[in-house]
Amino acid sequence: MSAYAIEGSTGLWEVVVGLEVHAQVISQSKLFSGSATAFGAEPNSQVSFVDAGFPGMLPVINRECVAQAVRTGLGLNAVIHKVSRFDRKNYFYADMPQGYQISQYEHPVVGTGVVEVELSDGSTKEIGVTRLHLEQDAGKSLHDQHATKTFVDLNRSGVALMEIVSEPDIRSPEESGAYLRKLRSILRYLGTCDGNMEEGSMRADVNVSVRKAGEPYRTRCEIKNVNSVRFVMLAIEAEAARQVEVWESGGTVKQETRLFDSGRGITRPMRSKEDAHDYRYFPDPDLLPLVLEENWIAALRASLPELPDAKRARFRSEYGLTPYDAAVLVAEKATADFFETVAKGRDAKIAANWITGDFFAALNRLGATIETSPVSAANLGALLDLMADNTINGRIAKDVFEAMVETGKAPADIVEEKGLKQVTDTGAIDAAVDKILADNPDKVAEYRSGKDKLFGFFVGQTMKAMAGKGNPALINETLKRRLA
Amino acid sequence: MLTDLTIAEAREKLRAREFSAVDLTMAHLHAIETLNPRLNAFITVSHSQALDQARAADEALARGDARALTGIPLAIKDLFCTVGVRTTAASEILRPFVPPYESTVTAQLLRDGAVFLGKTNLDEFAMGSSNMTSAYGPVENPWKRLQDEDAVLVPGGSSGGSAAAVAARMSMGATGTDTGGSIRQPASFCGLVGVKPSYGRCSRWGVVAFASSLDHPGPFARTVRDGAILLGSMAGHDPKDSTSADVPVPDYEAACRRGVKGLRIGVPKEYRSDGMPAEIEALWQKGLGWLRDAGAEIVDVSLPHTKYGLATYYIVAPAEASSNLARYDGVRYGARQDGAELSDMYGNTRAAGFGAEVRRRIMIGTYVLSAGYYDAYYLRAQKVRALILRDFNDAFQQVDALITPTTPSAAFAQGEKMDDPIQMYLNDLFTVGANLAGVPAISIPAGLDANGLPLGLQIIGKPFDEETVFAVSAEMERAAGFTALPQLRAGG
């Protein structure tokens, strides 16, 4: 593809982006306590004395959270570190009960990995992953509950997060979007993060700089806590444009933390008070180094589900799908599973066409998801069967499908109720064809004198006369015979 | 006097129903009533709870369900969280704090039938060697100088209240915590046995943290055997403390009867400082003589990095403390001072809530962890700490235990060493090594100085080999025949 570039007054500028994604780990309990992690619970109903930073309380690592981080690392084709360590990141905030966040600073559990992204022009690109580490989430400060007071909800305090840091390999807003969507897809396949950016279970810090071709990196700015793929893409655009303007007007981009104002479509600096921290990282003396056994990692590796890249390759080789269809169908695991249920024992290409076509269109129209779809995979499969065995033709199938979307009923029932069964009785077809030919002697004459295109007219008329239920192949055959 | 009994004696007599647990508890509560107004060893006396527990102990004894400590009255350092009983860490900032949970160590003592008399005074957040930094006033050492009965001596610190309570017969035993010497130094100053077990032997869960990698819960007692009984109850693996060791707890009482025949005892030459008082040097030699007479072999060993111990300790401990104490912000519990903004509330709360020594250590700790100073201070201290641990490991290749003095002096008077924090920090000279290395150490009362004040000797052992340390301590205790009594004591 042609490289993304910003055209300034001094020429073209390249954008350099690295993403730090905070992904909330799916687990029953928090990273260092037994408290529950469900979203949307009553404020402060999922808080242990550990989470609230009470005197003498100590963290104990939750094995499942570590397993989730390792699974994610394996899913990102990354190095798993058998020895890692937890550090304290010290700073004061009202929703940070211990006065420090337990994180992994120097020795993360997962090292370098790689994510392959597909771009709109059909090309692919590898984005490097620098590291993945585990850390605690903070609580939530609610500033809008009282005129002069801030309320604190500690339900989220101590929930496990994975911070996934990319290399500065991203060169355009499109690539950042493709990376985030791919990462989200992998996390969802693995079941390690639900990827719901609206609920805050996935957030991104975006590092942006610009440079002229061939230059070393220039100073970067970090845009904190961007909470949708679209906003990440818009923030990069806005920030890159700002930086180009600063450089071109003779200024210098200052390394700083900024926020994306989605309403105005600009980034603005955070107040210096908000980021003037010296975090005084040091190893948490309450926790021993995290030591993983080879067997345990191997068992996790063996139990990994098939991931999007592998599934896409298989869909192409096993089902003969186009690269595009394969990519679309594997993006969400639920879609891929739906497809495989429909395709099983049937024509996979027809299954893929129906799913990416009528089925997705219907979901869109309804605002539904695979999970809430009125049309189940079994019913869609049954519809394809009705076509395959000539019970209905393709045109009627569209009507039956619409009825399925409306009622959620099985296609056979709809066909039965509405009497949509295809007519394969040659007598009925002969009679319909005879009538059409008799009603249109001039068209018959034109056809016979060489106007081949009229064949479609006769097919259409016959089908119309049979209320769409005629078997198209038989109609064709009969017409050919009678017009010969 | 019931208050003069050892735990081992009282336990037998309780089982023999010579007196009741209520009698025993009442005798100690009476002693507290009489002496505590002067000694200030207790911040909180839990009178009615103690009697309830004593009555329950009597019922258990009547049922024949006597456990290791059934009916034994103990004092708990006010750093251990005790459910429903205020836990202050001797700080203003925790003045109103009543924990809804019980520390693992005190829960185990209760499991074994102990009676808790109350919570003892300490240096604020266990930071100090004199008990002068408590927000609840200083503790007076029950011992008096022979020629100067007016001088008010300190009991040592940080577990000064526990030491004073046991020495004055207000309690039969007590819990303490030892981060740089906070059990052994007050034990030495008050003529007691003070046990700092291996790191990981006693759970830190529910103990207000000072310096997590150095904090060791342990007991005070008047005899080595009593120390063994108490540690046996306090020790054990706790899944709630990630640094707790999953190793079995041996029979420490039995270890006290082992003797020292054939043991090799090391004398670390680096502990022989030029300024050491002659009487302490003499006592040290005397102690070695007792062991030689009992069949042990005395060997000179070297702990070459000893001289860096104190400097290392005073970087690592404040660093951890500066982070551990960040949670006292007035937001969720404890005393809060309001402010216009969040940062003002923090500033006001912590300025009002923390005393000078705690503030000093938070500032030192914050400094040594700061960007640009971390490598020069904290990281280097960690490296030296590793060397100190290696020193001990090397020494224990040659010997079974080490003997040193516990402190460079006997108890000093309130007001002495107060103007120079460094002078105060020197109290930990001989004790910090065992904390940095996590090895077990016991201080036993070995003799008196010229002023009639107790002096302790320290026995240091291999990690998780408390048994040998108890064996050596018990042998020295027999030889020392320490029978001196503090002037201020129940019935005294």
Cross-chain Cβ contact A92/B212 below 8 Å: no
Give tens-digit pLDDT for B139-173: 999 999 998 989 999 999 999 999 999 999 999 99
pLDDT band at A276 (very low <50, low <70, confident <90, very high): low
**Is the pLDDT assigned to residue B275 strictly greater than 90?**
no
Q: What is the pLDDT of residue A105?
A: 96
**Is the pLDDT assigned to residue A424 strictly greater than 80?**
no
Q: Are B449 and B279 in contact (CB under 8 A)?
A: yes
**Is B77 an annotated catalytic residue?**
yes
Q: What is the pLDDT of residue B43?
A: 98
Which chain A residues are closer than 8 Å to B101 by Cβ?
49, 54
Can the peptide bond before residue B158 be classed as cis, meaning omega within 30 degrees of 0? Answer: yes
> Shortest Cα distance from B270 to chain A (angstroms)?
29
B203, B328, B331: best mutation site toward chain A, by most A Cβ within 10 Å? Answer: B331
pLDDT band at B328 (very low <50, low <70, confident <90, very high): very high
Residue of B nearest to A61 (CA): B242
Average pLDDT over residues A11-25: 97
DSSP A45: S
Give tens-digit pLDDT for A329-382: 999 999 999 999 999 999 999 999 999 999 999 999 999 999 999 999 999 999
Looking at the DSSP assignment, which residues form a beta bridge with residue A101? A89
From B129, B158, B244, B322, the catalytic residue: B158
Cross-chain Cβ contact A88/B323 below 8 Å: yes
Q: Which of A29-38, A113-122, A294-303, A447-456 has the lowest mean pLDDT?
A: A447-456
Out of B241, B366, B371, name the one closest to residue A58 (CB): B241
Cross-chain Cβ contact A280/B322 below 8 Å: yes
> The tokens of A74 are what?
């394996």
**Is B182 an annotated catalytic residue?**
yes
pLDDT band at A427 (very low <50, low <70, confident <90, very high): confident
Quick count: other Cβ atoms within 10 Å of Cβ B300? 11
Give CA–CA dist B238/B252, Å, rounded.
19
DSSP B84: T
A54 vs B: CB within 8 A: yes
Domains defined for chain A, CATH in brackets: 6-300 (no CATH), 306-418 (no CATH), 426-483 (1.10.10.410)
Which chain A residues are closer than 8 Å to B94 by Cβ?
55
**Is the pLDDT assigned to residue A2 strictly greater than 70?**
no
**Is B473 an annotated catalytic residue?**
no
Q: What is the pLDDT of residue B21?
A: 98
> Shortest Cα distance from B208 to chain A (angstroms)?
4
β-strand A221-226 against A257-261: which pairing, if any? parallel
Out of A57, A98, A280, name the one closest to residue B366 (CB): A280
A27 SS3 class: coil
Cross-chain Cβ contact A280/B331 below 8 Å: no
Cross-chain Cβ contact A99/B242 below 8 Å: no
- DSSP code string of A68-124: HHHHHHHHTT-PBPSEE--EEEE---TT-TTSEEEE-SSS-SB--EEEEEE-TTS-E
Q: What is the pLDDT of residue A273?
A: 53
Phi (first) and psi of residue B458, to 5 degrees: -110, 135
ipTM score above 0.90: yes
Mean pLDDT for all residues in chain A: 93
Out of B101, B205, B370, name the one closest to residue A280 (CB): B370
Chain B residues whose C-beta sits inside 8 Å of any chain A C-beta:
80-81, 87, 89, 94, 97, 99-101, 103, 204-209, 211-213, 239-243, 319-320, 322-323, 325-327, 329, 331-333, 342-343, 346, 366, 369-371, 374, 378
Cross-chain Cβ contact A55/B209 below 8 Å: yes
Cross-chain Cβ contact B327/A56 below 8 Å: no
Q: Which of A215-229, A260-274, A290-304, B473-487 has the lowest mean pLDDT?
A: A260-274
pLDDT band at A1 (very low <50, low <70, confident <90, very high): very low
Phi (first) and psi of residue A16, to 5 degrees: -120, 125
Residue of A nearest to B240 (CA): A60
Give tens-digit pLDDT for B48-102: 999 999 999 999 999 999 999 999 999 999 999 999 999 999 999 999 999 999 9
**Is the pLDDT assigned to residue A275 strictly greater than 60?**
no
**Is the pLDDT assigned to residue A389 strictly greater than 90?**
no
- DSSP code string of B331-358: SSSS-----SSHHHHHHHHHHHHS-HHH
Give tens-digit pLDDT for B276-288: 889 999 999 999 9
Q: What is the pLDDT of residue A39?
A: 84
Residue of A nearest to B100 (CA): A49
Average pLDDT over residues B321-339: 95
Residue B142, CB half-sphere, CA atoms under 13 Å: how many? 33
Cross-chain Cβ contact B378/A282 below 8 Å: yes
Taking one residue from A and the other from B, the number of pairs with CB-CB distance under 8 angstroms is 98
Helix residue ranges per DSSP H, A262-420: 272-275, 294-302, 308-319, 323-330, 333-343, 348-354, 360-366, 377-388, 394-407, 411-418
Domain ranges in chain B are 1-492
Q: What is the pLDDT of residue A272?
A: 61
Which chain A residues are closer than 8 Å to B100 by Cβ?
49
Q: What percent of chain B has pLDDT over 70?
A: 100
Tell me the helix, strand and coil percentages in chain A, rounded to 5: 40, 20, 40
pLDDT band at B202 (very low <50, low <70, confident <90, very high): very high
Is domain B1-492 in CATH 1.10.260.40, yes or no?
no
From B182, B203, B244, B322, the catalytic residue: B182
**Is the pLDDT assigned to residue B41 strictly greater than 70?**
yes
Q: What is the pLDDT of residue B426?
A: 81
Instruction: Using a cut of 0.80, tell me whether the model's pTM lies above it.
Output: yes
A189 SS3 class: helix
pLDDT band at A484 (very low <50, low <70, confident <90, very high): confident
Cross-chain Cβ contact B209/A100 below 8 Å: no
Which chain B residues are closer than 8 Å to A58 by Cβ?
204-205, 240-242
Q: What percent of chain A has pLDDT over 70?
A: 98
Give CA–CA dist B344/B359, Å, rounded.
17
Cross-chain Cβ contact A280/B346 below 8 Å: no
Average pLDDT over residues A281-291: 97
Cross-chain Cβ contact B242/A61 below 8 Å: yes
